[in-house]
Amino acid sequence: MKALLLIDIQNDFLPGGALGVPEGDQIIPIVNQIQDHFDLIVATQDWHPTDHKSFASNHEGKNPFETTELLGLPQVLWPDHCLQGTPGADLAPALEVNKIEAIFRKGTNPEIDSYSGFYDNGRLKSTGLADYLRGKGVTQLYLAGLAADYCVYYSAIDALDEGFETFVLENAIRAISPESYEAARKDLLEKGGRRIQSSDLLPR
Ligand code: VGL
Ligand code: ZN
């Protein structure tokens, strides 16, 4: 079974959003076009409370994109984004959502950030995604979404670690910083991740 995992395709990660990813909107038509190719489609949704400690606004004297530590882990401090129940946290309106069978929320614990769709950054808690996918018989997992250098990357690493054959749809991801994606991409390839283009899936 082949599943498509859509990472954080939410308003706040689109250009003009609170944590807009350059060209983030451009992946949406591609993602919509490939959905029929998969047996299962699942999404993640970044879903933060207002007191989330990944927000610079919750640290006296800190600005967005500065760094700190949370529970002993290095942490980039972000602008407030994906606040629970706000339009910024909604899935993008242009995204075809009817075939999404489940949405896994993450980032709800104010004490720790959660880039991967599988675990928080400290691996304190699982979202249940890996067991859900295994329960559905998924062996191959294709990833698309935002941001390539954070939530897509960490989700792909965990997918490999959980034993899924893992493909990153390289034309259906965009990074906050292209340089940091370059390092992430090398790491993913070293760990057995595979890169693919949406055109490789479609009949020619
Ligand atoms: C993300 C930073 C903070 C992401 C989420 O979806 O890549 N990045 N929260
Ligand atoms: Zn976040």
What mean pLDDT do residues 181-186 have? 94
Q: How far is the CA of 115 from the centre of ligand 1 (A)?
A: 6
Peptide bond into 147 cis (omega under 30): yes
Q: Over 90: is that where the pLDDT of 79 sits?
A: yes
Q: Mark whether 82 is an active-site residue.
A: no
Across the chain, where does the E strand assignment appear?
2-7, 40-46, 67-70, 73-76, 100-106, 140-146, 165-174, 194-196
CA 200 to centroid of ligand 1, rounded, Å: 27
Interhelix angle 153-161/178-190, rounded to 10 degrees, is 10
The token pair that represents 200 in the structure block: 């490789």
**Per residue in 107-161, pLDDT tens?**
999 999 999 999 999 999 999 999 999 999 999 999 999 999 999 999 999 999 9
Question: What CATH number corresponds to the domain at position 135?
Answer: 3.40.50.850
Once rounded to an integer, what is the mean pLDDT over residues 168-174?
98
Residues spanned by the domain of 195? 2-201
User: How remote is the CA of residue 93 from the centroid of ligand 2, in Å?
Assistant: 19
Total domains in the fold of the chain:
1
Cβ count near 108 (within 10 Å): 16
Angle at 189 between CA 184 and CA 194, to 5 degrees: 115
Asked if pLDDT for residue 56 goes beyond 70, the answer is yes
- The structure's pTM equals 0.97
For residue 69, the one-letter residue type is E
Residues with CB under 6 A from ligand 1: 8, 13, 46, 78, 146-147, 150-151
- Which of 5, 14, 19, 168 has most ligand 1 atoms within 8 Å of its beta carbon, as the pocket-test mutant? 19
Q: Give the Cα separation of 4 and 40 in Å (integer).
A: 6
36 in catalytic set: no
Which residues neighbour ligand 2 (ion) by CB within 5 Å? 46, 107
Q: What is the pLDDT of residue 204?
A: 65
**Which residues have C-beta within 8 Å of that of residue 170, sequence separation ≥ 6?**
195, 196, 197
Please give the number of the atom of ligand 1 that sits closest to the Cα of 152.
Answer: 7
- For residue 19, give the ligand nearest its CA: 1
Q: Which of 181, 178, 169, 179 lies closest to 3, judged by CA?
A: 169
Output the pLDDT for position 158: 98
Give the DSSP per-residue string, 80-135.
Answer: S--BTTSGGGSBPTTS--TTEEEEEEE--STTS---SSSB-TT-S-B-SHHHHHHH
Ligand nearest to C-alpha 7 = 1
What's the rounded Cα separation, in Å, for the pair 121 and 91?
22
The rounded Å distance from CA 77 to ligand 1 centre is 11
Query: What is the average pLDDT score of the chain?
Result: 97
Which pLDDT band holds residue 17 (cuts at 50, 70, 90)? very high
Catalytic residue among 106, 113, 120, 149: 106
Q: For 57-77, how does the pLDDT look when each residue is reduced to its tens digit (9 = 90+)?
A: 999 999 999 999 999 999 999
**% residues pLDDT > 90 (the chain):** 97
CA 203 – ligand 1 centroid, Å: 33
What is the value of ipTM here, to two decimals?
0.98
Q: Which one from 12, 53, 113, 151 is the annotated catalytic residue? A: 151
97 — pLDDT class (breaks 50, 70, 90) = very high
State yes or no: is 8 an active-site residue.
yes
Supply the pLDDT for residue 202: 77
End-to-end distance of the chain based on CA atoms, in angstroms?
23
